[in-house]
Structures are given as structure tokens and as C-alpha cells.
Chains A and B, each alone.
Chain A
Amino acid sequence: MITKVRNHLSQNEALLFERSSPGKKAFQLPALDVPPVDAAEALGAGNVRAAIEGFPEVSEVEAIRHFTRLSTWNYAIDHGMYPLGSCTMKYNPRINELVARIDGLAWAHPYQPESLAQGSMEVMARVEAALAEITGMDAVTLQPAAGAHGELTGILLIRALLEKRGNPRKKILIPDSAHGTNPATAAIAGYMVQNIKSSDTGVLDVSALAQLVDQDVAALMVTNPNTLGVFEHNIIQAAEILHKKGAMLYMDGANMNALVGIARPGDFGVDVMHLNLHKTFSTPHGGGGPGAGPVAVKKPLEPFLPAPRLKHSARKWTWDYKRKHSIGRVKAFYGNFGVLVRALAYILAHGGEGLRNATVDAVLNAVYIRKQLEPYFDLPYSSPNMHEVVFSDHRQAALGVHTGDIAKRLIDYGFHPYTVSFPLIVHGALMIEPTETEGKLELDQFIEAMISIAKEVETDPHTVKNAPYGTRTSRVDEVTAARKPVLRWKPA
């Protein structure tokens, strides 16, 4: 029974280009207070373009209706639970949006004199310090723009240190449960990727690791807790194995939401890690960005961090560009400052104790879901889980219904689907991460929906296989989209 939602009307809306009509305007510029110049003369006749063919021409009210109508076609955290495993879709406090738009912060130019940027620099220094405390690491760079960008920065740091020690080495070890960004990053940093098979209990196989680590291995990239939501309990041992052979331990911090205030990577042997501020620290995902991917390191890696670095001297913040061992810049300017402001607002709102309480609730929510769905869905790994839980569609697949179908049916019940078919080590995975910002009622409705679908699979699999029904757009033909790509509008 679907109890959480019922249908309502949604407006149709054409593309901007189809709505346009010559001469319509949504703008007015101030009168020019200097003499106009002849474009052909100022720029050279050959450099001046004709009108931009096809560019929109709509009025202000049409513009706002256009985007408002489009917005109603989206599901969002503001509507309800968004249990995408590994994505940490938590509530985005609106105060964070407000403070990021304060004029003195939002209009700060990256090249304005340091004496007129002390507030921005202080914010960044405070973010660095908070993240160092949370991770137990020694130094933090805020320059990387996103998680994968942080990964690249982290691996380049490892490479730089090993190079300085005489040999950058050749390989990065990556468990088969890892995110796709890990191997893609290693390749961009010039390393070969060697996959490690997870153990029967879904964690790092330490004896396999011990056999693989040799003088060619630069680092192990590991997500902890891993993508099954299981804490890598052998992590200290793994770090010892790596360190003994001169290799490093890189931690993908995608799942840090399970650890804040409970355990610190810096205390369990991690040398380098990145954080996703748009996950753990609640900066909005915005339909796929912007994010921020700070990288935290232990002391030996600090000299190699991207330049410039914040420096405090004579009671003032300055930017230190003279960093001779630095890997260089990974991005223009200093980082996604606006995202850092939001993350700091989140940290200030919680405080140390609040952050830990959030972690506890995140884990409680995931365990609560696991307990109640275990009778209905196959749980391939029975190790205790933390902030997320991964089931498989094993039972449902026997009846011809797969994880993707269950996900689509969940939409009809008023929820965003969980993460489908990841991690790769679980065939037909259902990866569920509720986060701490779901209340008991929303969780109970989710559980009820999942159980109802499990029953539908047994009684009426056809219904599940063709879902969703309640959305304005039904199942989308992704095959044709890829086979005959139409990537831009053209006039008919």
C-alpha cells in the first residue's frame, strides 16, 4: 500500500528555445554613463559576432515560471528521504546559504589585497583547524574542488614524497569494493592499478595485502568504513604492513559520516585522506555540485601540499607561495571558498558534541533499517554495519525482479531510490544510507515501502518491473540516448 504520497498535477513546459520570441526581454541595463564605442572599431570588424543564433528571448515572468516548473519535476532532500548509499544525502541547513551570501564574503575577489581579505582567510584557517581535529591529521589543504579532485591531490602528494625518497614506485593497490574514482585517479597520477579481492567477510584481506606489498607499491587506497558500510577492523595492521615496506595508506573519506567524533583516521595509521564537504559536512549537492574535497595529511607530507598555504605571522594571515617542494596548484586561487563557508557554518552549529551525536544517529538509522529489512532482503555480508547497509536482490532476482526495478518502484512510494548495483562486489546491490537527518516516521515509512515492494515481487512482479507509474516521466529509454546522442537542442 502506498501511503506516503498521492498524485498531483505538474505543469508542462517547453524548452527555453521553443518559448522564445524575438524582442522579448527579461533584463534592463542602466543607461550608459560613458560614451558608447563602435564595436567594429574597438575590436576589429572581423572579431565582432553576429547575433547568437537560437539564444533565448523570454520575459521575466516566463523565465521564473520556466525554472519553477522544471524544479517541480525533481525529487529533493527537502521532499523526503534520499537514501543514496555512499552519497550522504543529509539535510542542508539554510543558514549556510545565507551566510555564504553575505556581501563581504560573496564579493571578495581572490586577488584583493591580503589586508582586505583577513576575514576570508580566517574562515579558511578555522576550517583547516576543525578538519585536522576531526580527522586527527596534521595539516589540511582546502584547494581541491571535489572528492575525486582531492584523491588526485592526495595521490600526487604520495608520489612527491616517494620521489623525494628516491623512488615514486609503480602501483596503487585498490580493493574491489572501491569507488570508480579511486582507480581513475591512480591512473591520472601515473600509477598502475592492482585490485585486491575483499575477504569473505567483505573487508580488506590482510594476508593478501601482506603478499602484495613490495617495493613497487606506492600506496593502498581504502575507504573506511568501506562501501559495504563495514569498518575495516584490520586497518591498523594494514597500515603497519604498508609502512614497513615504505608504502602509504590513503583513505577515501567518502564515508566519514560514520566516524566523526568516534574514530580518527590519523589515529589508525592513515597518511593521507580526502573529505567530501558535500557529504559529511552537509554542503548542498545542488543536482551534482559544487563540492569541495579538502585533503588532510600527516606531517611528512605537509611540505608537498599545493601552494599557496595559509600562514600566520605578526597577527595577520598571509598566503605563502614559496613552497619549493609543493606538487603545484591543483586549481586556480584557493579552493571552493563558498562551500567552505557552508561547511564551517555546519561545524559551528553542531560543535564537537553535536557532530558526534550526528554520527551516532546516522549509524542508528542504518542499523534500524537493516534489522527490519533483513527478513525480506538478502544480506550478503553479515558483519556489523555502520552508516549504511548493503543488501542484494538475490531473492527477488530469482523471481525476475532486479535491484534497478525495486529502486524504480520505490519512487512510486514517495522515496528517492537507494544506490543501485554498487559496490561491485555485491551482485545486484541495494545500498542504503539514511543519514542522521531522517526521523523515525520517515524511516518507518521507508521500511514499510521496502517490505511492501518485497511482497509485490512475490505476488505481482510485473508491477514492479514496469515502475514507476506515478511520475510525470515514466521509464526513460537510456539505450537510445546513448546510441543516437542528441546533446543539444536544434530548431526543427
Chain B
Amino acid sequence: MESFNAVDAEDLKAFLIESHEMLAQFERDVLSLENGALNPDQLDRLYRSLHTIKGNCGFLPFAKLEAIAHAGETLLGTIRTTQRNITPDVATALLQLADAIQQVLQTIEATASEGNQDYSGLIATLTTLCKTDAIPQATITHHATPLDAADGQSGMPLDSTIDSTIRVQVDLLDYVMNLVGELVLARNRLLQLTATNQDAEIVVTGRQIDLITNELQDNVMKARMQPISTLWRNLPRLVRDLALDCGKEVALELEGSETELDRSLIAAIKDPLTHLIRNCIDHGIESPDRRMAIGKSAQGRLKLRAFQENSKVILEISDDGAGIDSTQIKARSQQMGLITAAQATSMTDREALELIFLPGFSTTTEVTRLSGRGVGMDVVRRNLESVQGTVEIDSQLGHGTTFRLKIPLTLAIIPALLVSSSNERFAIPQANVQELIRLEGEDQIQRSIETLLNVPVYRLRGQILPLVNLAAVLQLPPSTGPTDLLYFVVIAADDYRFGLIVDWIEDTQNMVVKPLSKQLRSLNMFAGATVLGDGAAALILDTSGLAKYAGVQRQSQQSFAPATELEPGLSDRQLILIMLGPQNVRMGILLTHATRLEILPSTVIERVGDQYLMQYRDRIVSLIDLQAVCTGMVSSPAEFAEFVSIVIITLDGDRTVGLIVHQILDIVEEAITVTGAATRPGVTCYATVQGHITEMLDLNAIVELTNPYRTARELLIGARR
């Protein structure tokens, strides 16, 4: 066991699966060679499989297995060179060899060691066979016995790798997936039918089918997915070797290795990824001396980060090396005649970086810091494009380079928001949806929507948000909905942020993303299609494609950068919930404390003793009237307005209370500027938020205040279900 600790369990599993597969093929080949004439291809394959097993053993501590495989390899090598036929003796020996390897593999699998079986006899036989054909039959049978006996002793391990995985054609999985899709639709119809049915048995059966279908769908999906860690497993070694070759020190960081993507895509991005890593180490990260000289740590940092965004998996490869000098790129491209001088001067740095993806771009002859950066970059891009992916580059001179690969999940379930416009339904990937806004009343709509340079805009918490009408962009007939209601979805995608006006917002569902047919690929505003619950097909919007088509301006690079640069913990900007408290005073609390905002009819408020309580989501929540806290005026339940705004607050993890406020105003993200000390209990400080004086509340103090006899805690605990 000890010999084995260093070996990665994943590696071992992969080794076992591969070896088992090769052995099965090995046996078939030996048998067919024995029956027919010598087939050089088959012989090569036999030789190769033993060679691979032997080679793999070199990385793993299996000397015995290596010796057996080596003996077999030598024999096959002799046969290959002498071109002699495989006699039954040789075939028997080879099959015994396969049995022996099989046995060792099973022992390894069961006990994680090679076991104590002695195979020297078999090795001797194989060695003798190399010299002559004439091997006494007895020798072979002699060795056959201990093998059989050993089989009997150890028994077949039941839980073996060979049984727990099988290879399945992706086509078959696709077909099963489609069948599951049909099943989901049939299920949906069945549920609609059972909804009106009185027969309890039918209803129960319907629900069972519902549950089973969901599980089936999830698992078939999973069957096609592999974590990206399967691709990353070999990277530490690759990085180490490359760093040694280049005389650099590199620390590899991997983040998001559990991100899953389709098996076929993992294979497709393997080469581009390796290429980019090589580039980062070779040309990005500077030598330790150079790094020390410019004040960086001697060890360079190479970071791989994978995460899912909409129907794409994003894979970022970033280094903290020298970065790419766009001026040099421009100069080089001009030299090579890829761009004209005029183009070079009018080009932005970002555009210049894109030049390295041009097919002709190469700096191999030029010995500069960026030499080689462009070599094969066009291949990287082409490889990604072949799977509908993209590669972007971002580089800061002196600070490093980031390559961002976007790989689609052709078969993924994404949560998406279903909206409708002109009676057509569209899905918007939930990851692009920031918030939903409803404006009521023609007055308010008129007032809120301004026109700036012919573009309708909405001021969302002080920021200008361009508005796009979905029906107009898609040239749908204008909607005939009510004019005193306006819904829009605030969308953020890539560098775009805009409000998308729709007629109606339905709900968020998990949707199976289906690729669009080739016939419709030119429509960049659609990312794919899906099948809705009622069986109709619906289009999934590609939000950045839509923004481009609608002519939404990109947000400037500068305003975007700080948001991504800042670590969440380091930012002093906080989300603050602004509300109107008693006497129309602006009050604020940190949004991290508020779990939900509710506007409820005042009939939900019940009075028990001196406490106000309400039933909320299966539990009893005690309510704190901010007015009573601040002014001491306790209202009776009848004195509350018809509807009350309640902020549900969670303190210390699981203490839930409701704060009755006059009005909930807004949520803002701002750094708090303290402008004065608190003047009354329950208030932390005065601060300026959005240019207005705002009292920042101390929620713990308020809870204490409402319960001078400290009964609150017991009451809260007692009230919890």
C-alpha cells in the first residue's frame, strides 16, 4: 500500500481501464493471428499494447507487471523481425501472458499492490520462445497450472473497474437524450390531464412519472458531461517540465476544476489549451532574475480558471508575466504587410492584440520578447471556432496576459427567463438577467423614460440604462398590450448593459439548449432553441448578439475594469437598502442582512401580548415596527395602512425578524461616507448615500431595544418550528 500513496488514484483508475481494454483487444488479436496468416497490422497492435502497458508501469510502481510485459514485447519484437508465423505454442504463451497481466491488474485493483504471484516461469517461457519455435508442450502446461490455481485462490473481485464503466457511443446518448426530451413533453401533458382528474391512483402515478422523468433527465445529461479536471490532470507535469526547459519558476493555480462540459468539447480544447499554456510560460512569464529586477516575485503565476456562464464555459488562462506590447505587434504586422500604416495608427490596443490571431502573423524570425506569441495562434482560434467557441485576449504590458476561451455547451440545461413579446415567447439566459423592472401608470412611464441622443434611456439608481424594445428589434408587429404597464429586463452581457422591453415576463425555467440549425446560424441574436413545457419550440436570445444588432453601445472599458479587478472583500462599496422610516426619515441597512422585501396586507400582522407576529413561509416571524422603536408610539394593528412594507432580516445566521417600514425606496451600491455620529439609539451613524443624509440602522440594537426584558430571544426560539 505504501508504495502507492504517491500515485494519483485517478491515474491508477485510468491506467486500469486502459490496460483492461488493451488486453481484451490483445486476446482477440492473438486468436485471429493464430488462425490466419501473419497480419502486420495486428502484430503491430499487439506489440504496441504491451509496450504501452510497460511504459505506463514505468510511471507506476509495478515492476513485476513491467517485467512480464517486457518479456512479451521482446517475443513479439522477434516475431515481427523474423516474420515467422504464430504457432499454437506462441499463441498459448501470449494468451497466458494476457491472463497473467489480467491477474496482476485485478490484484492491483483489489489491494493496490502487485501481489506476490511468481511469474518467472512465464517470463522464462516467453524468453525461450524468442530463440526457437520448438518449445516442449510440457513447459507451457507446467506454467498454466499455478495461474489457474491462483485464480481460484483470489477469486474474481466483484467490484472491478472493468465492470463499473463501459464505453458508449455519443450518438446513442444523444438519441437517449432526445427520447428523454419526448418523455418530458409527454409527462407535461399527462400532468395537465391528471390535474383535472379525481382518481387518486392516476394522480399518484402521474406524480411518480414526474419524479422519475426528472431524475432520468438529470442523469442522462450527466452521462455526457465530464469535469474539466480530466483535462487538467496532466497540467502540473506539463507546466513543471516547460518551466524547467525555459529556466523559469512557475506556480500553477487551478480554479473551477469541477466545471463540467461535454465530453467531445473536452477533447476539442485539449490542444489549444496546451498551446496557450506553452505560450504563457515560454513568452509571458519572465525569467526569475528579470522578475526580481522589476520587483515581482521570482515565481511566476499561471492561473487557469473555469466557470460556466450561460450556455458557455469560460476558460481563462492568465499569467502575471510581461504582457504583450501592442506597439510592437503593430510594427511587426506592418512589416509583414498584414496591415497598412494608416490602419496601424487608427487601431486601438485591443484591436492590435487581435492581430496575433491572423493566420500570417508570426514573429519566429524576430528575436524579441514577444517572439512566438503569434505562432499557431490562428490554429488555436480555428480549433475553437470549429466547436463554435471563441478566444479573446487581454494583456497589460508589464502585468500579464489573459486568454479567455469561451466554449459552448451544445448540450446543457440552463436556467432561463421566459418572456413574451408580440405573442412570441423568448428565453433569456438567467445569467445575463440582472433585475426585472415594472413601471406602472402612464405618468410614471412618461416621467421615467428619457430620450438621450435618440435612444430611450432609464435612470436606474443614477446610472443611465439604454432601453431596447424586443419587438421592434426583432421586427415583430408592435404589441397591443396595455400602455400603462412597462416591463423590462435589465441585461448585462459582455460589455453591454441595457434594458430589454418586453410585453410580459413569465418565469424562470430550466431549459434544454438545442443548437440552432445551420439554416439559421447567421442570426447572431439567437443562441439556440429550446422546447417549452407545452411542446412548442422557443428561441433563446443571445444577449450580446442582440445588443450588437440593436446597436447598443459598449460600456467603456474603464468603467468595467474596476468591478472585475476588485476582490469582493476589499471593496468598500456596499449594497445598501434605502427606506423611509418614521417621520419620512431616510434610513439604510446593509443589504447583506435583508433576505427579502415584502409588501403584505396589514391583516397578516397579529398581536400576541406586546409582540407583533406574522406567519411567514411556515414559520412565525416577530415584527418590529420601526416607528415604535424610534418614536415610542405603538400602533394598534388597526392603525397600520392597508399594505405594509416589511423587510425580512436574518441576524446571526438564523434569527429572522420582520422590520415594518414606511416605504422601501431603493437598493444602491455605494461606499458609505460617515457624516455624523448617531443621535438616537438603534442608529449606527449618519451617512451620505446618494447625496442624501441617511441614518444607518444597527439592527442588533433595534432588536434589543424592542425587547427591554430580553425576552425576544426566547420568544424567537420558541416561535421557530
Instruction: Please determine whether chains A and B interact with each other in the same assembly.
Output: no
